[in-house]
Amino acid sequence: MSTQTTPLTRVLVANRGEIAVRVVRACHDLGIEAVAVHSAPDADALHVREADGAALLGGPQAKESYLRIDRVVAAALEHGCQAVHPGYGFLAENPELARACAEAGLVFVGPAAEVMEAVGNKVRAREIAEQAAVPVIPGSGNLSSIDEVVAFAERVGYPVMLKAAAGGGGRGIRRADDEPTLRTSFPQAMREAEAAFGDGSVFLEKCVIDPRHVEVQIVADRLGNVVHLGERECSLQRRRQKLVEESPAPRLEPRVRDELCAAAVRLAKQVGYTSAGTVEFLVDPRSGEFYFIEVNARIQVEHGVSELVTGVDIIGEQLRVASGLPLSVTQDDVTFRGAAIELRVNAENPRQNFFPSPGQVTRLRWPGGPGIRVDSGLEEGDRIQPYYDSMIAKVLVTGRTRDEAVARARRALRELSVEGVHTTAELQRSILDWDTFTDGSFHTGSLDGFIASWTAS
């Protein structure tokens, strides 16, 4: 691998909202100037105010601005940047941005385009996992006909999951418990995959009943060093979108934890991964067996949870790796302390089927005190735009024990006050008091049932 160093003095932050603010701060901690990009309505957003320079990309729609590779690269060159940090979402897992950066002589803060392509296709990623001796769910390659789909399902047994080969975020996934449902779902999944990712390829996997969703944070440099920062519990999801994450995962046997983390490191080494990434698994709570799902080739929304339990600045490590430097920590340096929880606060009305709630924030009070961190791209008086993701903040808490972290999370949500828009904070207060959450016995299907009961009450 290359050991050439590229000292970074200016970095273009190709994103918006809280992750853009987070990257700007990480740059400043390392003495690096940060240049923000923005759409027209984001001209006075917090990430722009915090940066050392800014570039207008285009109109309000993401396709006019934050998804324009040509304008992102041009902005980086115009402002004298050596590197581009994509954050998460938008272009973060688009290998064409990584390739365009390389062609323009810019450093892409993330894995190489070829690695992104390899792990970004779920069928190829399964093959890489198998080569690294990482367990995978019984599954197929890309399927193009309903006869192939039905034949495979008959071999592995129902229920099965249809999945888009490209993309992520829970889109292009459909469960089928029988053949009639499978025959109906197959063309629907292909259309959804094509619309979401421009690739209608789908494959089939055996469905694990009531699994837990556990992911492992890794960081890797260009010298072949790969370090894991432990696991995160991500099973509390609404329609496959995470609402609460924590580390360490409750009720996870030490043996399973060690095997999960070792498997993530093996996979990263197998594919030649660099920068920060996450290897995601399903864990069968009955047997303790686990199965590889996918690799997220970017910084995760919930990376702060791992930062709180390890003390490692993950985005700082990304910037070091992008400079050609080795990781600042070895595996032996990483120690795990206490527990951390993240609550994603979204501008949505959970009482009305989570309908988005854009508008001006007329009053805002963030929580504070021991063990509390808030990552946000918002200040009082700012406007939540209707064009982008509805998450407005991540409230992160840490404690010496999980019970202490939960207590601080409850306090944080009592202190939180957002006026002018609806938020999900009320629902999250209820989740923290939910017996299934407090005893850690939840799985990926638990939260949807809880929300249905909560809404009805």
Calpha distance 29→50 (Å, rounded): 13
Classify 142 as helix, strand or coil: coil
315, two tokens: 């985005």
CA-CA distances (angstroms) from residue 230 to 132, 363, 372? 19, 37, 20
**Of 205, 209, 252, which is closest to residue 233 (Cα–Cα)?**
252
CB of 304 closer than 8 Å to CB of 373: yes
Give the pairing type, strands 10-13 and 33-39: parallel
Cβ neighbourhood burial of 116 (10 Å; 0-12, 13-18, 19+): buried
Task: For the beta carbon of residue 239, count every other beta carbon within 10 angstroms.
Answer: 9
Q: Which residue type does 210 have?
A: D
State the maximum Cα–Cα separation within the chain, in Å, rounded to a whole number. Answer: 60
Q: Tell me the residue type at 95.
A: P
**322 vs 51: CA distance, rounded Å:** 20
Write out the two tokens for 241. Answer: 């979108």
Provide φ and ψ at 176, rounded to 5°: -130, 125
Bridge partner residues of 339 (DSSP): 399
How far is Cα 388 from Cα 260, in angstroms, rounded to an integer? Answer: 34
Given the residues 298, 320, 344, 402, select the one marked as catalytic. Answer: 298
Phi and psi based region of residue 89 (left: phi greater than 0; alpha: psi -120 to 50; beta: remaining): left
Q: Alpha carbon 350 to chain centroid distance?
A: 22
Q: Which helix (H) or strand (E) holds 180?
A: helix 179-197
Write out the DSSP string of 281-346: EEE-TTT--EEEEEEE-S--TTHHHHHHHH---HHHHHHHHHTTPPPS--GGG----SEEEEEEEE
- Helix segments in 38-178, DSSP class H: 46-50, 69-78, 95-103, 113-120, 122-131, 146-156
Is 298 among the residues known to form the active site? yes
Give the end-to-end CA distance of the chain in Å, rounded to a whole number: 58
HSE-CB of 249 using CA atoms within 13 angstroms: 32
Question: Catalytic residue numbers?
Answer: 298
